[in-house]
Each structure stands twice: as C-alpha cells, then as structure tokens.
Structure 1
Amino acid sequence: MLITADDLADLMVSQPRPRILDVRWRLDRPDGRPAYVDGHIPGAVYVDLDAELAEHGAPTDGRHPLPPVEKLQAAARRWGLHGDDTVVVYDDLGSMSAARAWWLLADAGVDIRILDGGLQAWTRSGRPLESGIVVPAAGSVVLTTGRLARASIDEAAALGTEGLLIDVRAAERYRGEVEPIDPRAGHIPGALNLPTTGNIAADGRFLSPDVIRARVVAAGIAPGAGVGVYCGSGVTAAHAFAALSIAGFAPRLYAGSWSQWSNHPDRPVAVGAAP
C-alpha cells in the first residue's frame, strides 16, 4: 500500500515507469492546481479531487459521494493510465487527500501505492521538482469496482449500535462543539472518535502497524475486527481506511459520512465526548 521516496525514485528510472498522480486538496484550499504548477514530482499528473474523485448530487448524498465507475474510468484515462501500470499517489497533507485516490483506484483493480510522507518526503530526500503542467497521452485502463468494503448509511447506523464505527474527524466536531460546514453538529450514535491525524507522525508518514493497532485496541475495538469509518465528507475516511488496513483491521468505508448523515433529519445525532 505504501512506497518510500527512495523506492519511487528507483521505479522512475526503470521500465515501465510508474504513473504518478498529484492529489493536492484541502478544505480551505480545494484547488491544488496552482501549487502543482509551481512544483511537483517529475512526470506527475494533477488530479482534481472535487471534479474527478467525487460525484455531486443532492445534499442527502453527502458532499463527496463516490463517483460512478464510468466517470472514474474517463478520468483515469485522462491521467494516462493503462491496465498494467503501477500508480503512485501523493499530496502535501499527510496523504489525507491522496488516500481518496488510492481507495477509489484500489477498489477498481489498479496496482496503486501511496507515497508515504507525500511531497515533503520527496523533497526531504533531496530530489528535484518540476513546474508546469503534465498532459499525458490518453490511457486505455478498464475499471471495475467492488474490491474494497463499503457501508451504506443504514449499515453505518448498525455498526454504531455494535460499537464498531469510528468517526475520524477532529474531536471538537465529533463532540458537536463546532460544525463549520454541515447542517447539524455532533456524531453518529455509538461511533468512537479516533481522528485519523493520529495515525501519522510529525513528518506525515503513517505510524507503524503496531502503533496504529494499539491505538485502535485502546479505544475498545478487538484486534483485526471489522469496523466502519467515516469523516466529514468521505475524503479523510479513506485515509483512516488505509491506516486500519495497514494495522490488520477489516475496515468499511461509509463514504457519505457526516455530510450525508446530517442532511437526513430523521437520523439521530449524538453530542458530547461519549459515543
């Protein structure tokens, strides 16, 4: 699932070369293209998370529903992907947005890795960036989805009842003290709070599997258990999915996440520090 900057550099001088995708996105700066143009890993193609890695429908679907496979395949071909490619994704935010691309493409059968530590790991290794825009020749990849586990809104509710649902947002949003985006504050009843920012070290790399596993077990979840994950809109939940997979759990992604749940008035909301 992960690749180091050194291993990526080795792959880049081999044949066939890996396809590299730059997935810079964040809530306060959703358009990462200007930063990409200023400097990116040589050969990397920019991926627009909002436009290419999400569908846009009614508020009751959430802010970043998973795109249909036809839309994802068309985007992947624009990125120049072919069926036998090895793909590496990265961002500059601890893999929080790159993990969304990883999840979608892994679910669709692509051989894909996350650059552990992201762009910072590449630059810390002393390797150069290039500027401008990379426009690859069209790819021919054929995608079929369904390889990774997901949860519907009803299944997320059931996982909460069973104590097997993790809310990976910041603690203050989980407690319902603040809600900057969605219509209601709080969390899905029964969900535990384990912010996915706690799964990475200060340098943006994922913590070791043992450390992540201990963190989840300390929250009351048995080692290797099946567990659902959600966030605000389904983006950083993919990061938690990756971390839990690394640690040996069997995660399920509730992609609608809080943005979907909170737009359904019939769904109950819990507030405070307790599940």
Structure 2
Amino acid sequence: MIDAAELAGLLASTAPPRVLDVRWKLGGPPGAEEFAKGHIPSAVYVDLDTELAGHGEPTDGRHPLPDEADFQAAARRWGLRSGDAVVVYDAVSGTSAARLWWLLRHAGVSDVRVLDGGLEAWVAAGGRLGAQGARPEPGDIRLRFGALPTLDADAAAALPGRGVLLDARAGERFRGEVEPVDPRAGHIPGAVSAPTSATLAPDGRMLAAPELAAHFAALGVGPDTAVGVYCGSGVTAAHAALALEAAGLPVPALYPGSFSAWSNDPSRPVATGA
C-alpha cells in the first residue's frame, strides 16, 4: 500500500512512479467517464473490462484472466517499462485497482502498490485533480504470467479439506439470500465467508496489519495455512489477496473464474447458508 502523502512526494521527485487509474464498479458508471471528470495528474486510465480481463464461455467466468500477450500490449500502451515503480488506484477503496495490482505481480512486476483509500484519500489530503489524461510514450515492458499461484475449479473444490477457501463477496451473497448477477445463489461448498468490507476501515483505508492478521486468524488463516480466494468474478478476490499480504501473510492462490464460473457449471454443487 501507499498513502496519499507519500504518493504526492514521489510524484514531485525526479523519479515519479507510473500511476494507473482503474476506476470500475459493478453496475457502473463507466470508469472512463469518471476519469474524464478528474484524476490524479499523470495518471493513465485502465479499462478493467477490456484490458484486465479476457472473454470466453460462461464457464470461464465474467472476468477471466486476459491473454498474456494482450496484457503485455496493454501495459506497453500505458507506458510501462522494465523497472518502473507503479501505483494503482480507484474510487472504491482499492477493490478494483487490486485486480491490476494482482495481475502485474502475477506477471513479474515487483514494485506495484495500491493507493490506500483511493481517489477520495488523495482529494482529502489536498491532492489536486487533472482533467487531461497522460499520453505516455509506448513502453517496452516484458511480462510473463506465473509469479503468483492460481486455482482452477477442481483445486478450489479440494482446498477446504486441507486449507481455507475464502469467499470475498458480501455475506448475503455467500449465504445465497441474494444473487444479482450469477445464475445460482450460494457459495462453493466448504468455503468461508470473508467479505472484503471487513478488511477496510470506515474511511475506506486498509486496516492496520495487526488488525488484518487477527481478522484472518479468526477465519482459520495462519502463516502456514494453504489459502485460496474467490469472489464473484475474480476482481474483489484480488483485494482479499492484497489484504492477506498487508497482514504479513503469504499471497494466497486466486481462483480467477470465481463463483461466476462455478455457478455456470451445472456439475458443480452450490451450498447456501452461513
């Protein structure tokens, strides 16, 4: 994580980080429109739906991982070069920006951080907003997926017997009381409800490391626990991975297809209740 004051200082330095705006939320409004209204100066807009996700069959989920070559091409459009420091942000407490954090880490970029509290924290700290998007020179970064662990549906199904599978969606979706987008309501059998909101303070910033560690310990997660994370379509699950690392725990395995892929496969059982 990086706070607004530190980011402001780095942007005023002789070696500023690349800043990427990943404004997106389920149901809109479109992030590009919000970006045009105002953004952190020097930021480049990143479209989650088209640049941070692929498109396939319903059983692949709503936001399957992008093709490696497509993601590298997008990163070069954003101006990324090997060795760049990167800061990503959004306007939803990092829950969409974490998707880009995870993808860059998965692709081998080590120096990437999420702006704690997002755009709201930047404005609250006195940060100014720009209206003109940056037009970076094309970058030359080389990316290769595989630096972070992932799960497929079979591995996600088997994990509860030997570790902990965390479901980052809201509790009512986990319990099957509501399901706004996916074909079946409920959760993967054996999963543990771990809403992303529980890792955030009221101001939208990430909880302190000791609080996060205590939170995950209460869910059965320790330093040596095998952990997997999923959500609706693999976006918010990346924030759960970020919170686990912020707690000082290993980055978990992410199930990219998540419940959108699972619930579209009639052969996969769905559990309901707490």
TM-score tier, shorter chain, comes to over 0.9
Shift of 1:163: 5.0
1:207 is paired with a residue of what secondary structure? coil
- What is the TM-score when the length of structure 2 is the normalising length? 0.96
Contact 2:163 2:226 in 1 (8 A): no
1:222 is matched with 222
1:132 is matched with 132
CA distance in 2, matches of 1:220, 1:142: 37
2:189 is matched with 189
1:117 is matched with 117
2:27 is matched with 28
2:69 is matched with 70
Contact 2:162 2:226 in 1 (8 A): no
Q: Deviations over 1:122-146 (max 9, x none)?
A: 1111121011332211111111121
2:145 is paired with a residue of what secondary structure? coil
1:148 is matched with 148
Structure 1 unaligned blocks of 5 or more: none
Q: Identify if the C-alpha distance between structure 1 residues 261 and 30 changes in structure 2 by more than 3 Å, giving closer, same or farther.
A: farther
CA distance in 2, matches of 1:209, 1:170: 22
CA distance in 1, matches of 2:204, 2:43: 20
Contact 1:163 1:191 in 2 (8 A): no
Quick check: 230-239 or 160-169, which moved more? Answer: 160-169
Contact 2:230 2:237 in 1 (8 A): yes
2:84 is matched with 85
Shift of 1:59: 0.3
CA distance in 2, matches of 1:220, 1:17: 40
Structure 2 unaligned blocks of 5 or more: none
Shift of 1:115: 0.8
1:257 is matched with 258
Letter in 1 for 2:74: A
Letter in 2 for 1:78: R
The alignment's C-alpha RMSD in Å is 1.2
Quick check: 66-75 or 221-230, which moved more? Answer: 221-230
Contact 1:38 1:132 in 2 (8 A): no
1:11 is matched with 10
Quick check: 205-214 or 236-245, which moved more? Answer: 205-214
Contact 2:151 2:253 in 1 (8 A): yes
Quick check: 10-19 or 170-179, which moved more? Answer: 10-19
Q: Percent identity?
A: 57
CA distance in 1, matches of 2:160, 2:26: 26
Q: Deviations over 1:159-179 (max 9, x none)?
A: 123351011101111011111
1:41 is matched with 40
Contact 2:116 2:206 in 1 (8 A): yes
Letter in 1 for 2:262: W
CA distance in 2, matches of 1:157, 1:246: 26
2:103 is matched with 104
1:20 is paired with a residue of what secondary structure? strand
1:64 is paired with a residue of what secondary structure? coil
Task: Name the count of aligned residue pairs.
Answer: 272
Letter in 1 for 2:41: P
Quick check: 43-52 or 25-34, which moved more? Answer: 25-34
Quick check: 263-272 or 209-218, which moved more? Answer: 209-218
- What is the TM-score when the length of structure 1 is the normalising length? 0.96
CA distance in 1, matches of 2:267, 2:89: 38
